[in-house]
């Protein structure tokens, strides 16, 4: 008795694969990509230049350093995906959605980082004569890897339309083949049905590994010591993430974290709390606390924009209201009020002030929709800044000290813990900014809790209904004005809470800190970009988007006038190839990938 093997071809998926960009046979192309990746790995253990004038210890034989480490990572990814494409035992789990697309992106990451390094050495040192043999080897090997990857076949084209009246066996095969293509598209876009669940302990270990990897990548990126290394990091991290996404690993990790949301959120905060212990001084903890402030405000804006669908272009003003209110009652000699509230009271004052302003601005304007509402909120942001600038005792009452702002804001002292002093925790010296990092982490946890609980509540479902179709929501009995006003008030109060910490971290609050747009966040334009870039309506999306939008401009300051140009170009590319955001809400993902089959159960608003 013979057993018939069930294959895609048996179901009508008989359309031949299109050739790659280069006319090399598939087997030869796969061998070229694999061999080139292995040779690239070997080249990272050779010297790439003879002089230490180029940073990164690229003159040493025997171990990689600097940019060589990034090329090594790209080569390892390419090699692993290539082995998986050969169906080598033990590597199949790496490519649940197919290997060829992942090989292409991994090879591109390796090639781009290697050639960027070779070109940077040649330009900085005055020619290719400054390259050692390892530099030539990595250039040739990475080019061969990319050529082999580009020669691999593309995905199968979509099958021809199906005639619904045809009941023949050929029609049945064609229909099953179409369903096979749909499944492939679902895996490619991350919307496939959940994979069979592993044992709980195994999935928890996977979550721990993912969070540890995220902490390692963030720590490495924020700690890059020179400009060339950070650019290489961006190239490798961006294209490496694309390779992992193409392989289907990102989709599988998302499914696992969705099944263990509470564990994932708690683990993420534990990983973030470990960040200061990875630093030897306050240099990068400074960026860490500012990133948390920016991310927390972006998460508050996500309630207004991501859940309720209200386009707010003046949201940074609520951050300023909270910061000014807290600064005035925190004992600053520049404050018009001779009071010194404890932090919990100052935080309540900042939240309350922002909430009141949110209601005052929202009550007369939230009956507007779309572009009209955006223009009104943009005007509010500018009015706040100009008003704070004029309340200097000359143009108006002396409340905000005008353009000089409220300065000399004292450090916090909570239950005897001085946030301005260095403390030794577990044998590690934790400085001022690390202290505020931990405080801001607690506030971020509070904001995440509010976002998640409100998103899962009845009012959260009303927000989503308003966002999707306000007219239909009103017809179903939802009080649109009241629901939108609540969203505005909650979002404003969360921004004010973050502003209370910002006032103490920066020592000084001035009107120029709260612009609509500028080179350095936080400002309204960057906050909105963080929400859209990270993923509207999700928890992790704005946090990751804000981290990238704050970190990258700070690291690209060496570009000078071209800083915003390069940054804007990166945003355009990301929105072109991942318009739903880095961590998309399932509904938005389906909007941008209509070819994917809808899952049986949509995730919650905060998933």
- List the domain range (segments joined by +) for residue 245: 15-158+169-252
Q: Does residue 262 belong to any structural domain of this protein? A: no
pLDDT per position as a tens digit, 301-352? 888 888 888 888 888 888 889 998 998 888 888 888 888 888 888 889 999 9
Highest mean pLDDT among 72-86, 391-405, 557-571 belongs to 72-86
- One domain for residues 191 and 80: yes
Which of 13-27, 55-69, 185-199, 559-573 has the least mean pLDDT?
Answer: 185-199
- One domain for residues 462 and 549: yes
- One domain for residues 447 and 507: yes
- One domain for residues 224 and 358: no
Q: Supply 298's token pair.
A: 């972006």
CA distance 24 to 153: 10
- Three-state DSSP at 598 gives coil
- One domain for residues 247 and 377: no
Which ranges of 391-457 does DSSP label H, i.e. alpha helix? Answer: 432-456
CA distance 447 to 299: 7
Query: What pLDDT shows up at residue 601?
Result: 40
Q: Where a domain ends, among 252, 268, 296?
A: 252
Q: Supply 334's token pair.
A: 């520049």
Q: Which pTM does this prediction carry? A: 0.78
pLDDT band at 120 (very low <50, low <70, confident <90, very high): very high
The DSSP element (H or E) to which 341 belongs, if any, is none
Q: Where a domain ends, among 219, 252, 285?
A: 252
Strands 417-418, 428-430: pairing kind: unpaired
Query: What pLDDT shows up at residue 484?
Result: 87
Query: What pLDDT shows up at residue 25?
Result: 81
DSSP labels for 206-246? HHHHHHHHHHHHHHHHHT--SHHHHHHHHHHHHHHHHHHHH
pLDDT per position as a tens digit, 169-207? 444 444 445 444 544 444 444 444 445 567 888 888 888
In degrees and rounded to multiples of 5, residue 295 shows phi and psi of -65, -40
Handedness of CA 591, 17, 9, 251 (dihedral sign): negative
CA distance 428 to 422: 10
Q: Does residue 604 belong to any structural domain of this protein? A: no
As for how many domains the chain has, the answer is 2
**Mean pLDDT across 432-460:** 86
- One domain for residues 241 and 388: no
- One domain for residues 134 and 181: yes
């Amino acid at each position: 008795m013979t057993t018939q093997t069930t294959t895609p071809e048996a179901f009508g998926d008989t359309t031949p694969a299109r050739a790659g960009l280069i006319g090399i046979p598939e087997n030869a192309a796969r061998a070229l990509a694999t061999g080139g990746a292995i040779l690239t790995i070997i080249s990272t253990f050779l010297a790439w230049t003879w002089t230490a004038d180029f940073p990164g210890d690229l003159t040493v034989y025997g171990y990689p350093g600097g940019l060589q480490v990034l090329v090594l990572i790209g080569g390892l990814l390419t090699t692993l995906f290539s082995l998986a494409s050969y169906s080598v035992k033990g590597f199949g789990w790496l490519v649940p959605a197919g290997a060829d697309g992942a090989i292409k992106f991994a090879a591109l990451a390796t090639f781009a980082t290697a050639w960027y390094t070779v070109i940077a050495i040649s330009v900085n040192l005055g020619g290719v004569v400054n390259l050692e043999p390892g530099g030539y080897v990595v250039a040739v090997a990475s080019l061969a890897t990319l050529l082999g990857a580009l020669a691999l076949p593309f995905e199968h084209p979509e099958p021809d339309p199906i005639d619904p009246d045809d009941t023949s066996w050929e029609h049945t095969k064609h229909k099953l083949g179409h369903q096979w293509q749909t499944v492939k598209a679902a895996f490619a876009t991350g919307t496939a049905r959940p994979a069979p669940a592993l044992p709980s302990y195994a999935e928890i270990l996977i979550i721990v590994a993912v969070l540890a990897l995220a902490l390692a990548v963030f720590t490495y990126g924020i700690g890059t010591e020179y400009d060339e290394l950070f650019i290489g990091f961006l190239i490798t991290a961006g294209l490496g993430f694309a390779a992992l996404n193409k392989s289907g690993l990102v989709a599988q990790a998302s499914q696992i974290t969705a099944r263990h949301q509470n564990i994932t959120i708690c683990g993420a905060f534990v990983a973030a709390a470990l960040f200061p212990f990875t630093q030897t001084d306050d240099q990068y903890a400074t960026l860490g606390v500012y990133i948390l402030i920016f991310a927390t405000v972006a998460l508050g804006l996500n309630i207004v924009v991501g859940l309720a669908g209200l386009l707010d272009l003046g949201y940074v003003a609520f951050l300023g209201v909270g910061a000014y209110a807290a600064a005035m009652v925190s004992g600053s000699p520049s404050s018009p009020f001779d009071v010194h509230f404890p932090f919990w009271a100052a935080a309540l004052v900042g939240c309350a002030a922002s909430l009141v302003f949110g209601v005052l601005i929202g009550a007369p304007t939230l009956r507007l929709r779309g572009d009209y509402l955006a223009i009104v909120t943009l005007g509010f942001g500018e009015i706040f800044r100009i008003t704070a600038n004029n309340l200097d005792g000359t143009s108006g009452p002396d409340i905000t000290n005008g353009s000089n702002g409220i300065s000399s804001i004292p450090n916090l002292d909570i239950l005897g813990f001085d946030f301005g002093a260095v403390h030794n925790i577990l044998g590690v010296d934790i400085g001022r900014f690390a202290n505020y990092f931990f405080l801001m982490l607690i506030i971020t946890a509070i904001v995440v809790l509010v976002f998640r609980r409100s998103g899962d509540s009845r009012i959260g479902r009303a927000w989503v209904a308003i966002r999707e179709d306000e007219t239909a929501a009103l017809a179903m009995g939802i009080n649109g004005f009241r629901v939108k006003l609540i969203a505005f008030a909650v979002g404003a109060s969360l921004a004010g809470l973050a502003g209370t910490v910002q006032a103490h971290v920066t020592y000084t609050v001035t009107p120029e800190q709260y612009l609509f747009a500028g080179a350095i966040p936080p400002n309204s334009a960057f906050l909105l970009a963080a929400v859209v870039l990270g993923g509207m309506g999700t928890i992790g999306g704005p946090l990751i988007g804000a981290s990238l939008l704050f970190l990258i401009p700070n690291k690209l300051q060496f570009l000078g006038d071209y800083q915003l140009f390069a940054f804007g170009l990166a945003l355009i590319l990301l929105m072109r190839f991942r318009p739903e955001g880095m961590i998309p809400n399932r509904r938005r993902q389906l909007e941008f990938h209509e070819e994917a089959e809808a899952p049986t159960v949509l995730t919650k608003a905060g998933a």
